[in-house]
Each structure stands twice: as structure tokens, then as C-alpha cells.
Amino acid sequence: MSPSGIFAHIARDGDGSSVGVWGAFTLRTAFQPIFAFHENTLAIAAFEGLIRPYRHGQPVQPAAFLAALPVGDRLQVETLARTLHLANAATCLPESASVFVNFDPSIFVDRSIASAALSDTRNTLAQVGIKPGRVVCEVTEQRSASQQVLRDFVRSFRQAGFRIAIDDYGAEDSDIERIRVLRPEIVKFDAHWVARLMETGPGLGLLKAMVGIFAGQGITTVFEGIEESRQIGLAEQAGVAMVQGFALARPELAPASFATFPRTAMPVARRGRGQPVHSMAGLAGETFGPRFGRKVAP
């Protein structure tokens, strides 16, 4: 689908946000902040774009929406989701914040698809006024249809000025090989793996060692799925650069007031037990609950 074809599926909502239309579904962007550690403080460094489908005004599980799509629609819907996130990022997010958008490697079955993805993304950025350097292309955990196509995809996006992130790293042989081959700028650790290792001293030591190895290679690390306030301190002990999860902030539907969201660093020690470091309640956010907290969509 051409860029103009994708934009034909996007409309401006009455609240100023961009929404996607796909058949009977309305697609909205939710942004979740990613926080960076700096001298015992936390500050927002980036946002991840997540898709939130609705049918007849009612929320639908993203996984259920994707599972119901015909195989031939997956590529177009993923392109639509990224375009939607970038359009909303241009109007809702502070210009200093990076934007993470997801790419499913299983749909890149040949070079033409990867080339079209780059062309579509660059055209979208030109239309919405975002520079490639702000965008992090997050390669999700799905198995690649072609390792060579995936390598070509990563190389072409990096040459165009985008950064590359690997999602759900868990130290399996396949994960280590992905890092070796793709040489990402950012690695996001698997939430369940991190939570399990944090429960023991040796496990935390392993996390610290791996974070140190990545840092020595110039790779920025992120711990996802931080859902308990005590995990924030453990993440800081492990030396990870950035953290993301419900204990910090839940995803919020655009156009929540992200552009005016507090940018000043906050001391880690000020967090309340069981409370987000930044609560965005009342900022027109979603209220779906924990079952929508895991990333399950483009």
C-alpha cells in the first residue's frame, strides 16, 4: 500500500488525535513512557507507541484483533499502526523524546517488503515533521521469515538515520545471535526473565554483568515490565540505562498531555510503594487495566 493509501485510513478525531480506520475497527495510539536513570533520578527519555483497537466504541484486546486479521492484512495494518503512532507523536510528544515503533520481522519475507517499509516510514516522517534520529525501530520477538532480509532491513534503516532496538532479550542462543548479527543500539530485556532474575542475588548479579557487557559495546539497555516499585531500585542496582512498566507509568491514549508532561528528573527515592513514579490519571488516559499492559501489537 502506498503512503497516500495508508493516510486514507487515518482521520483526525475531535480531540485532535489521529485515529486509524480498518474495516469495523477504530485504531488508537497509546504511548507508554520509558524512563532513564541519571544520578539517582528518573526522567522521561522516550515513549513507545502501542496500538489500541476499538469496535463499536468498545475496546478489543490487541492480540484478538491481530489474530482475527487475514494474513494478507498484517503488513498493511502494521504499516498503518506505525504511521498512526508517528502522526500522534508529532502532535502529542515533547520534541526531546525518542519514539519507539515496532516492526514484526515475520512479515518481511523479501527485500521488496523491507524496502517499502523504509520508504513508507521516511515519507510519513516527512509529512509529520519528525527526524529519523528520534525514531527507534524496535524489532519484536517474532521469528524472522528471512535472516538476510532482516539484516538488509536493519542496515537500510540505520543508514537512513534510524536507531535499532531488539525486544524481549532473554540470553537464549537465538537472542545472542540476534545481537551479534543486527548490532542494535538498544536492547530491551524480556520482562519475565528480568523479574525472575531480580528475585535472587546471583540473578541480579547476572543482570548487572550483562548490562555491563552491553554498555561496553555501546548498547543502551532497557528493563521492561517493571510492575513493582521495589524493582525500580533493583534495576538501578543492575546499572540498566532505562526502565519501562506499570510501576512507573501506564500507557495513555493520545492526545493525553504528553507535550506538557513533567520533564524534570525525579529522585528515585521519592517513589511510593506500589504507586507509579508519575501518575497520569486524569490526563484522558485509558482505564483497561493490567491485561492491556503487555505489548501485544505493532
Q: What is the pLDDT of residues 103-123, one digit of tens each?
A: 988 888 888 988 999 999 999
What does the alpha-carbon distance between residue 6 and residue 84 come to, in Å, rounded to a whole number?
9
Question: By mean pLDDT, which of 2-6, 32-36, 143-147 is the weakest?
Answer: 2-6
Specify whether the CB–CB gap between 103 and 136 falls below 8 A.
Answer: no
Q: Pairing mode, if any, of strands 18-22 and 266-267? A: unpaired
Per-residue model confidence (pLDDT) at position 1: 52
**Helices marked H in the chain:** 3-7, 62-68, 74-92, 111-128, 147-159, 173-182, 191-197, 201-216, 229-238
Mean pLDDT (whole number) for 197-207: 97
Assess contact for 249 and 33: CB atoms under 8 A. yes
pLDDT of res. 260: 53
DSSP 3-state of 145:
coil
- Mean of all residue pLDDT scores within the chain: 85
User: Cα(154)–Cα(118) distance, rounded to whole angstroms?
Assistant: 10
Query: Which has more pLDDT, 101 or 63?
Result: 101
Residues in a beta bridge with 10 = 20
CB 278 within 8 A of CB 249: yes
What is the per-residue pLDDT for 242? Answer: 98
Query: Quick one: pLDDT band at residue 283, thresholds 50, 70, 90?
Result: very low
Q: Which of 65-79, 209-223, 283-297 has the highest mean pLDDT?
A: 209-223
pLDDT band with cut points at 50, 70 and 90 for residue 68: confident
Percent of the chain with pLDDT over 70: 84
CA angle at residue 292 from 221 to 117, to 5 degrees?
Answer: 60
Q: Rounded to 5, what percent of the chain is helix, strand, coil?
A: 40, 25, 35
